[in-house]
Every structure is written in structure tokens, then in C-alpha cells.
């Protein structure tokens, strides 16, 4: 099970610039759907890559679904070489996304993201309308079902 509290605290305490997206963002807006991981969009500047790597370093980050023993270290240069990383850590699963369909990069999303205090950590999170746009753009069958719930939340919250 993913420990959202500890993961957010680790990111927050290292000053990582990130936005909560995906299922966790949906939970923040009132979704009752279970999610297995924390998805974040992170800023790609070199300093933030270092902070992100430092934040997760204590929690044995490793590529999810990849055989154990491969020479992988999550550091600034590894983050700079890739864009999206699906990781397992000792705090649970976390997806680090450089950009998302229907939303773009951290810089694109940060303008309309909302600020939330979650477990004492100040976080940015996709707004409900951003989340709906992202789910529409993703367009997978599971996203359509999630989209239906998000639109229902929007209707109930009016």
C-alpha cells in the first residue's frame, strides 16, 4: 500500500516542485476510487531533479516491473535522461511524470493548479477541471470511467 503521507512529506521537506495528478488528485477532489500509487508531475530544471532524487534516495527507488539487480540509481542524471519514471519505493509506488496528455509540463500546469495542505505538507494539485481535461485526453477505458466520476463530482459540488 502506498503511504501517501510519507511520500508527500519526503517531497515537501526537500522542496521538490511537483503537482499531484492522477488518482491521488482525484481522491483530493472527492473520488472514491482506489489508487495504488502517487502520480506527480515534476519540474524538469536541474535543481529540482536533484531535490527529487534526494527526496526519494532514502526509500530505495527502483524501476517498477523491472528485474531486480539492474544497475539503476535514481539520481539527477538518470532523471535528466528520461521523462516519465514508474517507481517502487519502500513507501509504495510513485510515478514521476515529466508531462501528461491534456495538461503538459509542470510549467503548463502550475498556473491553474490548486494549493492544498495534505498531512501538513503544502502541495500543488491539479484542479478538478484540469483533472477532467487530462482524463479526457488520456482516453483509456479506465479513464472514461474515472472521468464519469469526476464529472459527477463537479455536478455535485456546484
Partner 1 sequence: MSSDPVVEAYKAGIDRTLIRENLKLTVEERFRKAMELARFADELKRAGREYRSRPK
Query: What residues make contact with partner 1 under the rule CB under 8 A?
Result: 1-5, 24, 27-28, 30-32, 34-36, 116-119, 136, 144-145, 147-149, 151-153, 156-157
Closer residue to partner 1, CB minimum distance, 67 or 120: 120
CA distances from 33 to 19, 24, 60, 63, 124 (A): 20, 9, 27, 25, 20
Tell the smallest beta-carbon distance from residue 59 to partner 1 (Å): 17
Tell the smallest beta-carbon distance from residue 145 to partner 1 (Å): 5
Q: What is the chain's length?
A: 158
Closer residue to partner 1, CB minimum distance, 99 or 143: 143
Sequence-separated (6 or more) residues with CB below 8 Å from residue 15: 51
Tell the smallest beta-carbon distance from residue 155 to partner 1 (Å): 9
Amino acid at each position: 500500500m502506498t503511504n501517501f503521507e510519507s511520500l508527500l512529506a519526503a517531497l515537501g521537506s526537500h522542496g521538490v516542485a511537483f503537482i499531484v495528478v492522477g488518482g491521488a488528485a482525484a481522491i483530493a477532489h472527492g473520488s472514491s476510487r482506489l489508487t495504488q500509487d502517487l502520480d506527480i508531475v515534476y519540474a524538469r530544471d536541474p535543481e529540482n531533479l536533484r531535490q527529487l532524487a534526494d527526496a526519494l534516495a532514502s526509500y530505495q527507488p527502483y524501476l517498477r516491473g523491472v528485474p531486480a539487480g539492474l544497475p539503476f540509481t535514481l539520481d539527477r542524471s538518470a532523471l535528466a535522461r528520461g521523462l516519465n519514471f514508474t517507481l517502487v519505493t519502500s513507501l509504495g509506488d510513485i510515478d514521476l511524470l515529466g508531462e501528461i496528455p491534456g495538461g503538459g509540463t509542470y510549467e503548463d500546469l502550475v498556473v491553474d493548479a490548486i494549493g492544498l495542505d495534505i498531512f501538513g505538507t503544502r502541495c500543488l494539485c491539479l484542479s478538478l477541471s484540469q483533472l477532467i481535461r487530462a482524463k479526457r485526453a488520456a482516453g483509456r477505458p479506465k479513464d472514461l470511467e474515472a472521468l464519469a466520476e469526476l464529472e459527477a463530482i463537479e455536478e455535485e459540488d456546484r
